[in-house]
Amino acid sequence: MKETQRYGTIMSSSSITPKPAEKAPLSRWSPSDAGGNTRQAYLFPLFLLINVAVMTDRAIVAGASNEFAAFVSSARDSPAFAVESPDAGIGLIQAAFILGYSVAVLLSGHYVHKVRWKPLVLSGLCVWWLGVLGSGNAKDYG
C-alpha cells in the first residue's frame, strides 16, 4: 500500500478508495413498502384532473367566441375597433389573458424558491377568488 501525506496526516491508499454504494432505504412513498401505501396511485388522476381544468380554463374564450363577440360588440365601454370588428376584441381579451397568465407564472416561479409553498398557494387562491368576486359584482351594462 502506498502511503501519502495530506494536510499533515498520513493516509493509506485503501482509505482513499470509495466504498461501494450502499442501498438507499425505502422512502415512505415507495410502492414496494410493506405498509401498502396507496397515495401514489392517486397522484396521476389528480394531476390529470388539474391539467384538464387548466386547459378548459384556457379554452373558454376560444370555445365561446360567438358569445364573447356579441359581448364585445355590445358593451358600452368597448373600444371602437372592437365594436367594428368583434374578432379584434376577442384577440384583445385573449392577449390580456396571456399577459396576466405570463406575469403570474413568472412571479410564482420566482417566489416558489423564496416562500414556503402553502402561503404561495393561498395567496394565488386569494387573488383568483378576488377576481371571481369582482367579476360577479361588476355592474350590468345591459
The Cα 79–Cα 82 span in angstroms is: 5
The grid cell for 3 is 502511503
The grid cell for 133 is 368576486
Q: Nearest 5°: phi and psi at 31? A: -70, -20
Tally of CB atoms within 10 A around 68:
19
H or E segment and range at residue 9: strand 9-12
- pLDDT tens by residue, 46-101: 889 988 988 887 777 777 878 888 888 888 888 888 888 888 888 888 898 889 88
Residues 6+ apart with CB under 8 A from 4: 10, 11, 13, 16
pLDDT category at 38 given cuts 50, 70, 90 is low
The Cα 9–Cα 15 span in angstroms is: 12
Q: Is the pTM of this model over 0.95?
A: no
